[in-house]
Amino acid sequence: MKTDVLSTRQVAQLLGVGEATIKRWADAGEIDCFRTPGGHRKFRLRDLTAFVQVRDYDVAGPLPAPLPPGADEAGEAAVEHFESAALRGDTAALVAQLAAMRLRGYELAELFDEVAAPALRRIGDRWAGSTLSVAEEHVASQAVIDAIARAQPLAEPPGEPVRPDRGVAVVAAAGGEQHDIAARMAACLLRARGFEVLAPLAQTPARDLAELLLRSRASLVALCSTAPADLRAIEEQLHLAAAAARQTGAVLVVGGPGMERASLPAEARLLGSLRELVAESDGAGRRRPRPEHNNGR
């Protein structure tokens, strides 16, 4: 079953009510649904999210609500829940946690920042401290990657899917970086903001990336660096990307620990979170038409 399509039982579980209540609400038109050829009610997550927002519904359930880092035990529990599911390779549990929290009113960017990212840092620290094997770290990383792909509907606003009319956004992990989970999160969020996303992700040569920016006439470029292996390679890619962005009129944003150490070009805007990326993207792709070429005239 697609992650953005839920059964009556799943909706009842997320909302903390009985299945009969969900059927009654659906038949009354309070929650949009559709029926399969066999007559079973199915619910799209975006329509369920709209119901929750309109009704200001208090979503019940055992999953912890995410809170700002260090706020209290509830925020800690949310991170631990995500970390444990990732280490089990349980993609379905990761998606369920994100969906339940999304229905409590949290934006997906906030969940990535306050739950997924801290859990991934813990996993990385445990691997660096030799309490996790490479295989275990890979299992966890792949589960999170799969969850991000399946959670795309959670990033979309309620109602009709966003139409890609904001231009092209190019998202990559900079300078030979092998860790691209942050870039995948960024791509997920930008698709939901109406961008056509090109995501070469990890280990893209600097000149190849710059050529992609020019060919696609990108309006937004997002580069991430989580665990930089070569600071010089990052800086080369940044400056080539900045030169290409100047030609297309693109906004260039960067983020991650590696970027904090790099010498950034003047055009690059260093962001501290995915929520900042969402805010920054609202000003990209709308400001200016594509540059015109005079062909030497």
pLDDT at 288: 42
pLDDT at 37: 92
pLDDT at 195: 94
- Specify which residues 198 forms β-bridges with: 170
For residue 27, with 0-12 CB atoms within 10 Å meaning exposed, 13-18 middle and 19 or more buried, which class applies?
exposed
For residue 25, with 0-12 CB atoms within 10 Å meaning exposed, 13-18 middle and 19 or more buried, which class applies?
middle
Supply φ then ψ for residue 196, to 5 degrees. -80, 115
pLDDT at 290: 43
Buried b (16+ CB within 10 A) or exposed e, 245-268: beebbbbbbbbbebbeebebbebb
Positions in the chain whose pLDDT score sits under 70: 1-4, 53, 56-74, 157-164, 285-297
pLDDT at 163: 63
pLDDT at 291: 44
Task: Give 24-59 as a DSSP string.
Answer: HHHHTTSS--EE-TT--EEEEHHHHHHHHHHHT---
Q: Which of 206, 270, 207, 186 is nearest to 198 (CA)?
A: 186
Please state, in angstroms and rounded to a whole number, the distance separating the CA atoms of residues 128 and 29: 53
For residue 80, with 0-12 CB atoms within 10 Å meaning exposed, 13-18 middle and 19 or more buried, which class applies?
middle
Domains in the chain with CATH codes: 5-55 (1.10.1660.10), 73-155 (1.10.1240.10), 168-281 (3.40.50.280)
Residue type present at position 294? N
Task: Give 190-212 as a DSSP string.
Answer: HHHTT-EEEEEESS--HHHHHHH
pLDDT at 287: 44
Please state, in angstroms and rounded to a whole number, the distance separating the CA atoms of residues 199 and 183: 8
pLDDT at 211: 96
Q: Which of 296, 288, 186 is nearest to 245 (CA)?
A: 288
